[in-house]
Amino acid sequence: MLYTAEQLHVSADRALFVDMNSFFASVEQQVAPELRGRPVAVVPFLHDSTSVLAASVEAKQLGISTGTNVAEARRMAPSIKLLRVNAPLYRDYHRRVMGMLDQTRCKVTVKSIDEALLTVPKDLRGNSLELASQIRNNIYEVGDWLGCSIGLGPNMFIAKMATNAMKPNGLVQVLPEELQGFYSTLSLMNLYGVSYRSTKRFKALGIETPLDLYNAPLKYLQNHLGENTGLSWHLRMRGVEVDQKLTHRTSVGHQMTLTPNPATSLEELWPTISQLVAKVSHRLRKSGFSSHRLVCFVRYQDRTHWGKMMNQTQYINDLPTMLRSVKQGFTHLPFTSPVRLVGVSAINLRPTADTSYSLFPEERRAEQITSAIDLITEKFGVGSITTARNLTIAPVADHIGFGNAPDVAQMGY
Ligand SMILES: [Mg+2]
């Protein structure tokens, strides 16, 4: 069976999508208040021949957007402030925002450097508008200039498109019974994940608009797009969550008791830790999962605990990246008492093959590079923004403290 009953169930506000507004430029304005209220553009190099990577809300109002040539942008807004891209700064704010989202009771799936999907737990549904405005306020606490658009819908696809319906600072909910009306305001290019090439493919089938796609008979879609892709489109358009693979696996972890002697320094502890990481990494790869968050923890001889979560900018399962991240986590370990037990867990798992979002499986790389993270990687081959390599040298470490035993026990290691 392709989908479980739980997946097929449409719940009006299951998906809450957070899309940061003009993220790179807003972060620049956050750290330099004199830039607020002014058109700002983030550029790869300070030269007229390049193009804008990210425009501030004020610059967008003047018609400047991602891809606008810099000389052209200067003509459109002579007072525009051009800033060279500062990836470590954006990553830092990315981690702060995601860390804040993690404190809600929603399951958080990071979609890009400035976007996240929150799956609202059943008991919070029905109050999700309230939850959304709370999230917006909490993001203002991360940075009072950091706006976001929030979309609520039955699945990620619709919630994401709801964020586009009002920018900046929108909060839009699309209910299942409003879907046809919502689609009638959109073109095929507005559909999340649909590239220009995909629109041509739909048009060849006589599907000119999202409403046509909604109304197309299931059999017709399956005959022309393939059985699974056709079914997915049929369900996705109706609010079924088909883009978030549900997994029962939530963590992979190992721990070791230090016998006969507890450890009193990181040097003593490290050989054990690196063995644990190797095991976790191996098990992740063998089971086909990647992790978004690593947990380092110890139990001291005096029975107290210490733990640290290391958020990743991407789903990972390779040993070098995991080792670097875990090593950084353990550098914060205080030896208040000898360490009796040490452990490493990988949590927030998802199937490795599912780590890049695609609606047509054969079009893994969308033609249109939409996410800023891809934009930077494409333009500069920075790589670091997606490999988490720079996490080890980031000036501000992720720190979501948790110190009691029940929390650690719930990780299910
Ligand atoms: Mg955005």
CA 328 to chain CA mean position, Å:
22
Whole-number Å distance, alpha carbon 75 to ligand 1 midpoint, is 25
Place of tokens 């016998």: 259
Whole-number Å distance, alpha carbon 164 to ligand 1 midpoint, is 9
Separation between Cα atoms, residue 162 and residue 181, nearest integer Å = 13
The pLDDT, as a whole number, for residue 67 is: 92
pLDDT of 48-93, one tens digit each? Answer: 889 999 999 999 999 999 999 999 999 999 999 999 999 889 988 9
List the one residue out of 388, 412, 408, 410 whose CA is nearest residue 398. 388
Work out the number of other CB atoms within 10 angstroms of the CB of residue 113. 27
The pLDDT, as a whole number, for residue 177 is: 94
Q: Please tell me the CATH code under which domain 251-355+384-410 is placed.
A: 3.30.1490.100
- Helix spans in 308-356 (H): 319-330
Catalytic residues: 115
The pLDDT, as a whole number, for residue 284 is: 86
* Under-50 pLDDT residues of the chain: 1, 247, 354-375, 377-413
Q: In the chain, which segments carry CATH 3.30.1490.100?
A: 251-355+384-410
List the one residue out of 346, 249, 360 whose CA is nearest residue 294. 346
Q: 24-87: which CATH topology?
A: MutS, DNA mismatch repair protein, domain I (3.40.1170)
Q: In the chain, which segments carry CATH 3.40.1170.60?
A: 24-87
Q: Is the pTM of this model over 0.85?
A: no
The pLDDT, as a whole number, for residue 249 is: 55
pLDDT of 112-159, one tens digit each? Answer: 889 999 999 999 998 899 999 999 999 999 999 999 999 999 999 999
Whole-number Å distance, alpha carbon 149 to ligand 1 midpoint, is 8
Separation between Cα atoms, residue 43 and residue 84, nearest integer Å = 5
Whole-number Å distance, alpha carbon 370 to ligand 1 midpoint, is 9
The pLDDT, as a whole number, for residue 388 is: 38
